[in-house]
Structure 1
Amino acid sequence: MGAGPVKPAPGITRRRRPWRAMVLALAAIILVAAVGTYLTAPRPGGTMDPAATSPSGAHALVTLLRDGGVEVVVANTVADVERSARADSLLLVAQTHYLTDSSLLQRLAQAPGDLLLVEPTARARRALTPKLRITAAEQFASQPKCPLREANRAGKVHFGPSDAYQPRDDLEVVSCYGGALVRYRDAGRTVTVVGSSDFMTNGGLLKEGNAALAMNLAGDRPRVVWYAPHRVEGQTSEPGSLSDLIPTNVTWIVWQLWLVVLLVALWKGRRLGPLVAEEIPVVVRASETVEGRGRLYRSRRARDRAAEALRTATLQRLLPRLGIGPGTDPPAVVTTVARRSGADPEFVRYHLYGPPPATDQDLLHLARALDDIERQVTHS
């Protein structure tokens, strides 16, 4: 007589099923977490980017304007501005530290319609609002104290670090918030200048009357041409990421490797003992050290030393990534950084080896530009 099929012992079956269920549950958790992270991740973008949902973006303000019936036209180039601007529209210009070409600034100055200039650099201010001069920067969080209707409806506004403006000659200027917001008429157009963009960003709209002032200024006309460049015009597009180099059929292999690494980590983690607590005699937060050093620079108006420290730190992080020695000549460094990041060589040279900033606001623009250069090199 032949023997029948051998059945596994009940104990063995019971021991295998929990492991199979645990692996399936862990894989499901990882998949749900990945999908949730993708769906809820903020859309990236620079400062005043109308599509960015990060704290420095302006997606919330653009959405509020469109819900209020204002037509918002996003312009990516000066040519787009010239095609979209009309006599009854408002031209909003921000991120002017990317406007390094004087001819582009002259073309913006000749565009029709009213002008709202946000946090301009010294070069942009001279080209677009030559009748204004800058005064000392302050911390603004006050009442408008001016007859401007848009400011009085908003009330108290928190600008953050901001420049202040005054007229050069006998120009009639409406000055609000200690000069952080000015408005005047010039050649049949209304020109409005604000010394900070923080109150218009996603992270600043909820402070004080920031949202009201931002909507009142940007929604003053039924059509807004929004121009906030995030690279020098003519610069190549953003370099591809590492994930673009991975073939499609390799994606599942990568996910399986991550799952194996996680399972091994859980297995090894069970063998570790408890952590040993050790008291630290003094705890000094890095943010406090940086803030204290920044206050010392600001109290002594040492913008040149602050800019040199920023540029030196950026080069110390960039040169090892690019395989360049510390004694390399600046032209070679500029060429390598521009080729690696796809940025304009003049833009790279100006921010890495250019003159020291003239104002605190220009120092802030320099820090943002250096951060953009380092981010583009890192992600290239």
Structure 2
Amino acid sequence: MTSTSPDAAKVWRAAKKPLIILAILLAGVLVLIIVRGDQGAREELHPDSYAPDGGRALAQVLRQQGVRVDQVDAFTEAEAAQNATVLITRPDLLPPERLLRLRDQAKHLVLVGAQGPGVAAVLPGTEVAGVSEVENRQPECPLSAAVAAAEATSGGVRYQPGDGVLSCYPDDGAGTLVQRFGGPDTTVTLLGTPAPLTNERLDEAGNAALGLRLLGTGDRLVWYVPSPTDAALRGDEKSVAELVPDGLKFGLVQLFIAAVVLALWRARRLGRVVHEKLPVVVRAAETVEGRARLYRRSGATAHVAGTLRQATRARLAPRLGLAPDAEPPALIGALAARTGRPGAHLHALLHGPPPDSDPALVRLADELDRLEKEVDDR
């Protein structure tokens, strides 16, 4: 009698699809972790980024000149910088009041590409006048950093300067680099584009000199890369839980307690779980023998033979690389190639007429077993 317990091949076929799906999910999670883990280093003008629009080259040059470069992502870390130069790569992410706090703490505040309400906050009277093309220009101003750099890459956001604000690299009357002293010891600089500070263009024209003189005048540079997820930048925003009235919260808590009490009450009415022993344990072999006796008593020789042949075909097809419901010609051809038996003999064995007696049924079962063993052996 052939065992019907699942073998390794059946287990693999059953588990193959879930394992493939699990592997795809794990691969996706791994890729996401790698991408998100390297996300900061790929941001524009990030001091650790090797990309063309990154700022690693400038950061390295500043360090070689003895400037301490600290890259920070949190507003609280940038605010803690006292009497240092603070470079903000994405200033529009900060509310105006946060920019004012940084201006009051820093010795020199440099904003790159700012065009939001923070412009008028840090430089009263200065307005955004549009956007211009990024190209090399002459400074046309007395600002020492621009004069030393001479021609440099400029453009991007254009600023209409207010009173006491120096305007450099003009375009249509508005400068793309403006600077003024924001207080007794604070200087504020607006740079319309990050282009002159990037890896790609740092060695063009006077960009390196401009970057060194804007950011390297002090002993320390705090390179602030704001993050949209920074809780300190949300201002007065409140979470959904904070917006829910206290009365509604109290009511929801009461409903939850009532639901728990109701569940416990209904569960108690069901009573405890009662374990009952089975009246009799029937062995699997006895079940098989009982069914065999029923088949024999009813004279169902043809039915039994058909069942044996169908089970044999279903087991042989996967072993030969075929589908369980493969067509008879394909199965017979594969069996003939594997065993060397004639196709007519195999067809008669697997699809022939039913046996006419019990001894013939037993011989058929033996032949089917021998055929399966022969296939496995080869």
TM-score range, shorter chain: 0.3 to 0.5
TM-score where L is the length of structure 1: 0.46
TM-score where L is the length of structure 2: 0.46
* Structure whose CA Rg is larger: 2
